Structure 1
Amino acid sequence: MVRASRGAVTPGMWRREAGTVVRPAAPLPESAAGAILAGSRIVPGPTEWSPHSHSLHELVWVRGGTLTSRVGDRVLTVVEGHGLWMPAGMVHGGRATAGAEFSDAFFVPERTPFVFTEPMAIAMTPLLESLLTHLASARLDAEARARAESVVFDVIRPSERQFALQLPGDPRIDAIAETLLDDPSDGRSLEDWARRLEISDRTITRAFRQATGLSFAQWRQMLRVHRALMLLAEGFEVATVSEVLGYAQPSSFIVAFRRVTGVTPGAFFDAAAEPSRDVRNSVSRDQNS
């Protein structure tokens, strides 16, 4: 039987898995050849980036894994086919699952002709990903770089799937949130928590609604799906993920996952991976032509 890893607790994030590498933010180049700086690297094991901020806007995306970021009182998760936009100056921490191919692009604010002022998921279409991969080349001359950047500015769009978990930030119920972040399988009921915290279940219900817009049960379900995305991306079977998250049977987990995302786990990841498969096939064709 597989259980969630027991490591150090990271406030507002998941319990840190054994073997997680904690890294500081990589330093940015002192000067940019253009408006966009792009690159990629493989994350060999579970990797976490300490809270930090950048002087540039950042767009990060992964293949073969998930990326989770804590920004203030929100936890955002993106899977393959989606990127995460982080505005300049915003403090955030991040975590990528083992084996993920991690890519990022930094946008010089004064040269970027659009403004996304909040962290958000970006649709990593085949065209956008190909353009950013192209811009990672150091061999581009100034004119070619400017042409590619102008197309990026035209095609970059927020994703239709914005997957963010609002943390309560309410001292009356923060203990519930931190406990469930540590162990999403915790199955204590509203009444159980009311007795433990010595407040009424009605107070807990109102606090969750006011802070997150969700009921306690809905919030826990959303949290479990965030964790499920990480586990499924690491290759765990649906039955194992269901057990780790405290569901009595896989069918119950699938129903909950569909309630939050609109699709089954298999359909979710098939749809997410399709744009990246298109990019890889396109790159392969270009290399063989």
Structure 2
Amino acid sequence: MARRPSPSPAPGGSGSWRREPSTEVRRTGRMPVVGDGSPVVLAESEGVTAPLEWEPHAHEYHELVWITGGTLTTRVGDRVFTVSEGAALWLPAGQVHSGRLTAGSEFFDAFFEPERTPVRFDEPTAIVLSPVLASLLEYLQRTDLDAGARARAEAVVFDVLETSERPLVLRVPGDPRIDPIAEALLADPADGRGLEEWSRALGVSERTITRAFRSTTGLSFVQWKQSLRVHLALSLLAEGHDVQTTSELLGYAQSSTFIEAFRRVMGTTPGAYPHAAS
């Protein structure tokens, strides 16, 4: 069975999977350069060659993040969001979050001045990154726009912001009876222990574990583990792993089982995912 190199564990609550030795770690995210008369929307981008991880931080501005050529995994409180191409994530001003970007990605973000932003998302919100929105935000990266051109583009951005009907988000239990299970799987989604083994290890009944997962996440233990593995599968596929290797790295005995689990969550097979290796 294929195994990834043994990276050191990410800090507790960082929202990342296991940290690879080549990972660049930043204590805070980028902050916009603002001043009197600054624009409402400040957009920028950055290419990364190695995995990039941000420790928990917050911004005074609303932030919209998206990527090309990879995936971004963000942890916000008890939720883990995975952002892949065609999607973006809105993070309200003041919202503490952390994240991990796969190597070889292009990372984009746009900061929105709260007092002058007419749209309001009070919670982290998945946004559809339509071609129109992507083009407008790329246009707003320019530094040669006059005030009128910028204001017109910003107004259209607000008009085309659309929430996603199918966000890829996983809720972390937040229940001390089962948190050790969740954190162990976040650190190593290939951990193959089942209900019986976890029951013995934690000294709680299998029924208690099942009911706790259902009440806190809306999913059974098995469904939650499968969903978690799909989140990581997106990163592995983006890093260039083929479907068979990705299946093995996630602890599946048969690739067909992985393909079916992926299809149930994503609505398509991993082989059809844009970054899957042939």
- TM-score category of the 2 structures, normalised to the smaller one: over 0.9
2:171 maps to which of 159, 166, 177 = 166
1:183 maps to which of 185, 188, 200 = 188
Change (3 A) 1:75 1:5: farther
- Please show how residues 239-254 of structure 1 align to structure 2 within 5 Å: 239-254=244-259
CA distance in 1, matches of 2:205, 2:39: 57
CA distance in 2, matches of 1:2, 1:40: 34
CA distance in 2, matches of 1:26, 1:245: 32
1:28 aligns with 2:23: no
CA distance in 2, matches of 1:72, 1:201: 26
Q: Which amino acid aligns with 1:16?
A: R
Q: Which amino acid aligns with 1:63?
A: T
1:8 aligns with 2:8: yes
Q: Which amino acid aligns with 1:72?
A: G
1:87 aligns with 2:92: yes
Deviation string, structure 1 residues 11-33 (Cα, Å, up to 9, x no partner)? 24311112100013223213263
The ranges of structure 1 where at least 4 consecutive aligned residues each deviate by more than 6 angstroms after the TM superposition are none
CA distance in 1, matches of 2:69, 2:254: 26
Give the corresponding residue for 1:17: 20
Q: Shift of residue 263 of structure 1?
A: 1.4
TM (norm. structure 2) is 0.94
User: Does the residue aligned with 1:230 lie in a helix, a strand or coil?
Assistant: helix
Tell which deviates more after alignment, 23-32 or 42-51. Answer: 23-32
CA distance in 2, matches of 1:27, 1:129: 20
CA contact (8 A) 1:36 1:108 kept: yes
CA distance in 1, matches of 2:151, 2:265: 41
User: Does the residue aligned with 1:269 lie in a helix, a strand or coil?
Assistant: coil
Q: Shift of residue 214 of structure 1?
A: 0.7
Give the corresponding residue for 1:119: 124
1:196 aligns with 2:201: yes
CA distance in 1, matches of 2:166, 2:241: 23
CA contact (8 A) 2:51 2:103 kept: yes
Query: Structure 2 regions of 5+ residues with no counterpart?
Result: none
Q: Shift of residue 118 of structure 1?
A: 1.0
Give the corresponding residue for 1:234: 239
Q: Shift of residue 122 of structure 1?
A: 1.1
Which of the pair is proportionally richer in helix?
A: 1
1:212 aligns with 2:217: yes
CA distance in 2, matches of 1:188, 1:36: 47
CA distance in 2, matches of 1:152, 1:232: 31
CA distance in 2, matches of 1:6, 1:158: 38
- Please show how residues 38-77 of structure 1 align to structure 2 within 5 Å: 38-77=43-82
User: Does the residue aligned with 2:29 lie in a helix, a strand or coil?
Assistant: coil
Q: Shift of residue 160 of structure 1?
A: 2.4
Q: Which amino acid aligns with 1:30?
A: V
Q: Shift of residue 179 of structure 1?
A: 0.8
Q: Shift of residue 104 of structure 1?
A: 0.6
Q: Shift of residue 81 of structure 1?
A: 1.1
CA distance in 2, matches of 1:35, 1:87: 15
In the alignment of these two chains, the number of paired residues is: 271
Q: Shift of residue 188 of structure 1?
A: 1.1
